[in-house]
Structure 1
Amino acid sequence: MEFKNEWVTTQINSDTVNWASEFGRKLAKNKLDNRGQEIRDSKLTTSQLRKFFGEVKRQQALGFNSTDFILLKPKLAYAVGRTKKADSCLHDFYKVMSLAIDTVKDEKHFKNFIKIFESIVAYHKAAEEAKL
């Protein structure tokens, strides 16, 4: 299932939660190569995720500012540039978050973005702890 802009702009529904569950679990696991072997250290680490999440929560505490919010994209791009693995889950995270960031135009969108992101973080943590 693909990320849908209307989850940010209109409403969050059960499809959103199902997608966040699938995406969070995917990010928490190493990718597989074309032979079905795990690619070591390709998963999104908790620290990578929490660093970005912390910045989003900081912005939430200060109140929505479109300029500050859109500047999350270069911060995320920098993290992608620092990763040494071309097949890292960080790249997948960047693609989805970039699309979601571009969709946020006002306070309502920002609140929906945060709820979706919180869901991803929760499912990532549960999968990382091997509880899902």
Structure 2
Amino acid sequence: MDIQKTIIKHIDGLGSLKDYYIRDLVNHAEEFGNFLRSERLETNQVRKFLDAINQLKTELTKDNDFKQIETGVVLLKPKLAYAAARQKAAKPLSQVMSKAIDKVKTTQDFERLVQFIESIIAYHKAAGGK
């Protein structure tokens, strides 16, 4: 099974994203980051998504109330869909992150989402991605 399907299946089996065991998350992120590099994903293709994540992170730091950012979290999915429509290489990231976003219901889930995307991007860059 390819890494994209492995991650989606794993996330499907979770009650919520905070249940994503950190060692599994990092291992999946490493493999997926390398895969995205091989697909020639460039981070500028998902910049709006990454910027939105950082903005939500900042808002949550101020208020510490997930309800204040919940709409923004759900609206990350169309940003990913747009990036995937513009660039084929962004489609696997869009599919994996959309599945993860569906499991975000609390602050702890959102924090795990941030850890996941930051880990994926870090491994993508480490593999030589731009």
**How would you bin the TM-score normalised by the shorter chain?**
0.7 to 0.9
Q: What does residue range 59-74 of structure 1 map to in structure 2 within 5 Å? A: 59-63=56-60, 64=66, 65-74=69-78
Secondary structure in 2 matching 1:128: coil
Provide the aligned length of Structure 1 versus Structure 2.
114
Q: Counterparts of 1:69 and 1:123 in 2: how far apart (Å)? A: 23
Q: What does residue range 72-111 of structure 1 map to in structure 2 within 5 Å? A: 72-83=76-87, 88-111=88-111
Paired position in structure 1 for 2:117: 117
Greater mean alpha carbon deviation, residues 10-19 or residues 96-105: 10-19
Matched-pair contact (CA < 8 Å) for 1:49–1:121:
no
Instruction: Give the AA of the match of 1:80.
Output: A
Greater mean alpha carbon deviation, residues 47-56 or residues 17-26: 47-56
Structure 2: gaps (5+ residues): 61-65
Secondary structure in 1 matching 2:38: coil
When the two chains are superposed, the root-mean-square deviation of aligned CA atoms in Å is 2.0
Matched-pair contact (CA < 8 Å) for 1:70–1:101:
yes
Q: CA deviation at 1:15?
A: 1.8
Structure 1 residue runs of 4+, over 6 Å off?
Answer: none
Q: Per the alignment, do residues 80 and 127 of structure 1 end up closer, same or farther by CA in structure 2, a change over 3 Å counting? A: same
Instruction: Give the AA of the match of 2:41.
Output: L
Based on CA coordinates, which of the two structures has the bigger radius of gyration? 1
Instruction: Give the AA of the match of 1:24.
Output: G
The percent identity for this pair of structures is 39
Structure 1: gaps (5+ residues): 31-42
TM-score normalised per structure 2: 0.78
Deviations 1:13-45 (A, max 9, x none): 322211100001110113xxxxxxxxxxxx211
More helix by share: 2
Q: CA deviation at 1:11?
A: 4.2
Instruction: Give the AA of the match of 2:126.
Output: A
Q: CA deviation at 1:46?
A: 2.1
TM-score normalised per structure 1: 0.77
Matched-pair contact (CA < 8 Å) for 2:46–2:80:
no
Deviations 1:60-99 (A, max 9, x none): 101141111100111111122223xxxx221111110110
